[in-house]
Chains A and B, each alone.
Chain A
Amino acid sequence: MILNIKDTVIIGIGNILLQDDGVGVHVIKQLENEMLPSTIELVDGGTSTLDMLGFFLDFKKVIVVDCLRAGLKPGTIYKIKPEDIMNYKKENLSIHDVQILDVVKMANMMNKYPEVIIFGIEPEKIDLDLEMTQTMISKIPEIVLNIKKELKIK
């Protein structure tokens, strides 16, 4: 529908009402101030992960930023490619809650295979608050840097 010169989309996922859970959305807000190249689209996906499918169909590269609880130190940044874990069959690997992987599979079923990179951030606290913890706030620049590095910006 729209003539698009953009080839990369960065999607922030999370609930801004739940403190560190909203980190993805907060990263998008920061990226809006970073004067990124015009080939990059920024999306505040909020809590509607399954609605993000369209972006996986239209863009060559999709970067997802989300809160990810794996048990390591709060503020730990994880970088995952879906293919690293998608077909990894192990009893204790519970990927059913990772809706974003469902979306990747749905895109694949529609014959679209964008390059997907997930930046997951270990939360310190998920509670009712619009403010993230200091741990998480202080990590934002590092997350932004990692995304820029991934996109080879500067």
Chain B
Amino acid sequence: MSTIVLDPITRLEGHLKISVTLDTTNNVTAAEATGNLYRGFENMLVGRPPSDAAFLTQRICGVCPVSHAIASSKATEQAAKFTPTLQGLLLRDLIQGANFISSNILHFYQLALLDYIQGPQMHPWTPGYSQDFRFNAADSQTLMNNYVAALSIRRQAQEMGAIFGGKLPHVGNIVPGGVTANPTTTEIANFKKYLATITTFIQTAYKTDVNKLATAYSDYYKIGKGYGNLISYGVFDTNAAGAKLFPAGTVTGGVVGSFAATNIKEYVGHSWYSSASGSNPASGATTPKYGKAGAYTWLKAPRYNAVAYEAGSLARTWISGDYRKGISVMDRHLARYTETSKIATNMSTWISQVKVGVSGYTKLVAPATGTGIGLTEAPRGALGHWVSVASSKISKYQIVTPTCWNASPMDDAGKVGPIEKALIGTHVANNAQPVELLRIVHSFDPCTGCSVHVMSPEGIEMSNFVVQPL
């Protein structure tokens, strides 16, 4: 089969391309993030029963299906003026918690770590960069061993999530009304067993490794800051009144403030849409116009009070007060560890609160008309679903994903998106191996791992880097 040429661009969810311009001293002067998540998924939901959305929206992205199911269920529940029982909320917390742990561990070990250590010298790890590896052979070996151990832990986290989530990866049990699971003593015992093993890994190996990284690459506390504004919609309900483990909020110029969904507006001045710019998602529309002058992406530019905000673990832990050391590439990794550890600890509380033999589901009468907003967090940041229902069918649906916040393009006022801003000003040591850019982009945990391809422009001073997913 030596003649096969593979060009498989079939995983469209989360394709992200980054182009940057460098000046004569090799500093980034401009950056463009191009996302291929065309928002037409939402238009497909129109005319369907609201309960379909929890299943279909999970399919948009394979990385955070659980959070999509929860956001969608919450939106329909709000339209029906319904809140699940505490049992339902706790089961959602446990399934979503398992997904966060699995995703955060995958991110650190399988996606981000190889920007800092050399993987095995074989496909798919080669060809790769050889630039700026600082660990000695012994430390590299320990990290690679934990890379393999993390695969096993991550798998156990998946299996743990499936206990109450039903089938994986696309869960079947999270629906408007709660969670269609009825925990048995055995299931609870199995869950606790998985959790104990996973928690030990997080609080020993993961903790040691992330700190090892932070020590060896302490200069990355000063790289990739961006605007420094953070946003979270809040996640993990701890009671039926809306209290959350990580509360909703904003951080603006270092000040922690409140959050209100009405302050979100999406701009499309530089996006391939002809629909009105500056609408709140509740009234927003998605009309594609590929090739529109001045546009370079399928992502819209969500802004909060017209300002660009970064979403993710760092936003959640800063607002909750768990991590406030700084905003940078390395702070994002440490915040992600801090949050993973906190989630694992709290899951142990939640699983002990779950009642044996009590269903997490309450029959929900689907709303004939109404509107609802479902806000939660995916591991990589704030996720919102906005639904309008008329004649018992979806009449409008809008989704703003975390990567829409982080990889958003320039808005109508000419302000670039958070990842773009974080890249600007970065010094690239070696044009052929722009590892600095990769580390910045990865620290945001965008939907998929990215690789950088260097395109040689005509001029001598300018280079063009294009980051595409693995």
Residues of A within 8 A of B470 (CB): 96-97, 99, 102
CB distance from A69 to the nearest CB of B (A): 6
Q: Please judge, given known A-B contacts A57-B155, A84-B1, A96-B470, whether A70 and B169 are in contact too, CB under 8 Å.
A: no
Q: Which of A1-39 contact B (CB under 8 A)?
A: 1, 14-18, 21
| Number of cross-chain contacts by CB at 8 Å | 140
CB distance from A111 to the nearest CB of B (A): 9
Check: B363 CB closer than 8 A to any chain A CB.
no
Is B6's CB under 8 angstroms from A49's CB?
Answer: no
Q: Please judge, given known A-B contacts A17-B56, A48-B63, A66-B10, whether A101 and B167 are in contact too, CB under 8 Å.
A: no
Is B123's CB under 8 angstroms from A105's CB?
Answer: yes
CB distance from B326 to the nearest CB of A (A): 30
CB distance from B335 to the nearest CB of A (A): 23
Interface string of A61-93 (1 = CB under 8 A from B): 000001111110000001010001111110011
Q: Please judge, given known A-B contacts A44-B170, A48-B170, A49-B62, whether A96 and B451 are in contact too, CB under 8 Å.
A: yes
Is B9's CB under 8 angstroms from A97's CB?
Answer: yes
Q: Which of B1-21 contact A (CB under 8 A)?
A: 1-2, 4-13
Q: Which residue of A lies closest to B12 (CB)?
A: A18
CA distance in complex: A66, B469 (Å): 18
Check: A153 CB closer than 8 A to any chain B CB.
no
Residues of A within 8 A of B158 (CB): 51, 54
CA distance in complex: A98, B123 (Å): 11
CA distance in complex: A18, B36 (Å): 13
Q: Which residue of B lies closest to A58 (CB)?
A: B155
Residues of A within 8 A of B115 (CB): none
- Name B's interface SS: loop
CB distance from B273 to the nearest CB of A (A): 14
Q: Which residue of B lies closest to A2 (CB)?
A: B159
Check: B110 CB closer than 8 A to any chain A CB.
yes
Residues of A within 8 A of B148 (CB): 109-110
Is A93's CB under 8 angstroms from B6's CB?
Answer: yes
Q: Which residue of B lies closest to A52 (CB)?
A: B169
CB distance from A55 to the nearest CB of B (A): 10
CA distance in complex: A47, B154 (Å): 17
Check: B65 CB closer than 8 A to any chain A CB.
yes
Q: Please judge, given known A-B contacts A16-B59, A46-B62, A85-B4, whether A95 and B124 are in contact too, CB under 8 Å.
A: yes
Q: Please judge, given known A-B contacts A95-B123, A109-B151, whether A71 and B5 are in contact too, CB under 8 Å.
A: yes
Is A15's CB under 8 angstroms from B13's CB?
Answer: yes
CB distance from A139 to the nearest CB of B (A): 16
The listed residue (A49, A53, A84, A94) touching B155 by CB distance below 8 A is A53
CB distance from B250 to the nearest CB of A (A): 31
Question: Chain A: how many interface residues by the 8 Å CB criterion?
Answer: 52
Q: Which residue of B lies closest to A43 (CB)?
A: B167
Q: Please judge, given known A-B contacts A15-B12, A128-B40, whether A86 and B7 are in contact too, CB under 8 Å.
A: no
Check: B122 CB closer than 8 A to any chain A CB.
yes
CA distance in complex: A101, B59 (Å): 22
Q: Please judge, given known A-B contacts A44-B170, A49-B62, A54-B158, whether A86 and B8 are in contact too, CB under 8 Å.
A: no
Residues of B within 8 A of A15 (CB): 11-13, 59, 62
CB distance from A79 to the nearest CB of B (A): 9
CB distance from A152 to the nearest CB of B (A): 22
Is B159's CB under 8 angstroms from A128's CB?
Answer: no
Residues of A within 8 A of B59 (CB): 15-17, 46-47
Closest 6 CB pairs of A and B: A47-B62, A48-B169, A48-B62, A128-B40, A67-B10, A84-B1
Q: A44-B167, A93-B4 are in contact. List 13 more A-B contacts (CB 8 A).
A: A15-B62, A47-B63, A48-B169, A48-B170, A51-B62, A51-B168, A70-B8, A84-B1, A96-B124, A97-B6, A97-B11, A109-B147, A128-B41
Question: Which residues of A approach B to under 8 Å, CB–CB?
Answer: 1, 14-18, 21, 44-51, 53-54, 57, 66-71, 78, 80, 84-89, 92-99, 101-102, 105-106, 109-110, 120, 123, 126, 128-130
CB-defined A-B contacts under 8 Å, sample of 21:
A17-B41, A17-B60, A44-B167, A45-B169, A47-B63, A47-B169, A48-B63, A51-B158, A67-B8, A70-B4, A80-B1, A87-B122, A97-B11, A97-B469, A97-B470, A99-B470, A105-B124, A106-B151, A109-B120, A109-B147, A110-B148
